[in-house]
Amino acid sequence: MLLGDILARNARMYGNEVALIEREPEKDKRVELTWKQFNEQANRFANALISRGIKKGDTVVHLMMNCIEWLPAYFGILRTGAWAVPLNFRFSADDIKLCAGIAEGKAMIFGGEFIDRINAIRGELATVKDYFFVGPDEVRPDYAEKFQDLLDQSSPLVPEVKLGLEDEAGLYFTSGTTGAPKPILLTHRNLEAACIVENRHHNQTHGDNFLCIPPLYHTGAKMHWFGSFIVGSRAVILKGVKPHWILEAISEERVTIVWLLVPWAQDILLAIENGDVRLSDYDLDQWRLMHIGAQPVPPSLIKNWKKTFPHHDYDTNYGLSESTGPGCVHLGMENLHKVGAIGVPGFDWEAQIVDESRNPVPQGEVGELMLSGPGVMKEYYKNPEATAQTLYHGWLLTGDMARVDEDGFIWLVDRKKDVIITGGENIFPVEIEDFLMSNSKVQDAAVIGVPDERLGEIVLAVIKVKPGKEMTEEEVEKFCEQLPRYKRPRRIIFGDVPRNPTGKIEKPKLRASYGGGTESFKTK
């Protein structure tokens, strides 16, 4: 069933019930949207796009922070038959230009936070003809139409566009081993499968309420919400991650399901331990499930969580944007004794651990995790070489090294690619290495991830200074202020960078030397 059809069904069945709630604690703001309003706004935006020439197979760039307009805009794009292209809100102007160019975006909807970035590149976005703005009218650029005006002026009727499940639905940009964004092409069937898989795993009913905190551009947050969406249950979009904001939202909105990243779960437990929040101040009895994904989960965290919230079900989910988000492997709420494993193949998914020749390895041996299921992407758009390296006879090669235990549970061993995952965000070492090497005092540089109790991993940089030069840790930190905060090295080591005869950095040696496999470090 198309996502647009599910939305229309929810509007028919639950029209006057609340579908979405936006909470912005810092501004003491709360906004609601019913299923009828959600559906009509999606139709109105779709009709506005169509009136401006957007048609099936076109692309619309979607660049917004989480807000109550995010999902109606997304569904509106899908209803035109165009491909939605949600972009990471951390993308620089150059990243946005690159992605919009690859997608050949015909239109762009963006929020007020991105005005400066769009202004900087608008003259270079040759294919983008129409801009739509979500935000205060007093700061709206004169080249962009006001989103609310589009809704007010357009028809609330569903547009007559013939769509099928095999039609393309969206481009989700990830990054390859070099850190350059790669566009993942997903179909409407992929999106439908995400709804079904998530609902089968977590048993959402119409009476549930899902708290959405992670960014909606990411497949993780949205595809977890899909399990609630398919049964017409409400969701809360929370703008802010302070522990007392999260607990207030759960208490006041009667939230039953919360998906957290490791740092947020750590912060909640620490706030309780320090007395910064008191659980007795909140009504949390209805909260039934806490689940985590997007990065390795320390078993000690879940042990402490269960001590604090003994009645909670817990699950962890493994997935990739190439698998339409989480759920291709999941622990299962009944398998708390296996915390540390990523779990078993999800509903309607298969998994194999294979060697370099794509042959299954014996149980217990390490190989690459390979997956098959209804969420496997169609392709890397405009990148047949990368597609051929990743899709193998309908199977998805994840690039993650794993093993299967005697009970059939999958355990990740290492990432084939040297991606660092910090706070749920992927960081590519080569990008930071290249940046460090641009400093005139740096002769060589290597970057690895080391375990961190709060963020999962942090960036450690090993820097070899040029002979005759001197460099301090403070100087490196100052230089790295040009990087987004989450990409900045949290530990800096001055020393030699080991390389093999072909010139490649020997990162296993660095991990052995600096604790990449065992030791944990506090985040600065």
Q: What is the pLDDT of residue 520?
A: 33
Sign of CA dihedral 292, 295, 296, 297: negative
DSSP string, 173-231: EEE-TTS-EEEEEEEHHHHHHHHHHHHHHH---TT-EEEE-S-TTSHHHHHHHHHHHTT
3-state secondary structure of 371: strand
Percentage of residues of the chain with pLDDT beyond 90: 75
Mean pLDDT, residues 364-371: 93
CATH code of 28-163, in short, is 3.40.50.980
Tokens of 261: 């990243």
How much is the average pLDDT of 403-422? Answer: 83
What's the pLDDT score for residue 177? 35
Tens digits of per-residue pLDDT, 97-140?
A: 999 999 999 999 999 999 999 999 999 999 999 999 999 999 99
CA distance 287 to 264: 16
Query: What six digits make up the tokens of 358?
Result: 């794509």
**If we measure between CA atoms, which residue out of 40, 11, 38, 73 comes closest to residue 157?**
40
Once rounded to an integer, what is the mean pLDDT over residues 354-371? 94
Q: Provide the sign of the torsion angle of the four alpha carbons 199, 203, 209, 210, taken in this order.
A: negative
pTM flag (> 0.85)? no
What is the domain partition of the chain in residue ranges? 28-163, 427-514
CA angle centred on 261, ends 376 and 455, rounded to 5°: 110
Helix (H) / strand (E) containing 430 = helix 429-437
pLDDT at 181: 78
Measured CA angle at 74 (ends 92, 423), to 5 deg: 45
* pLDDT band, residue 414 (cuts 50/70/90): low
Gyration radius of the chain over CA positions: 23
- Complete DSSP assignment for 296-320: ---HHHHHHHHHH-TT-EEEEEEEE
Per CATH, the homologous superfamily of domain 427-514 is ANL, C-terminal domain (3.30.300.30)
382 in Cβ contact with 420 (< 8 Å): no
Parallel, antiparallel or unpaired: strands 425-427 and 420-422: antiparallel
Strands 367-372 and 425-427: unpaired
Mean residue pLDDT of the chain comes to 92
Is the pLDDT assigned to residue 176 strictly greater than 70? no
Q: How confident is the model at residue 515 (pLDDT cuts 50, 70, 90)?
A: confident
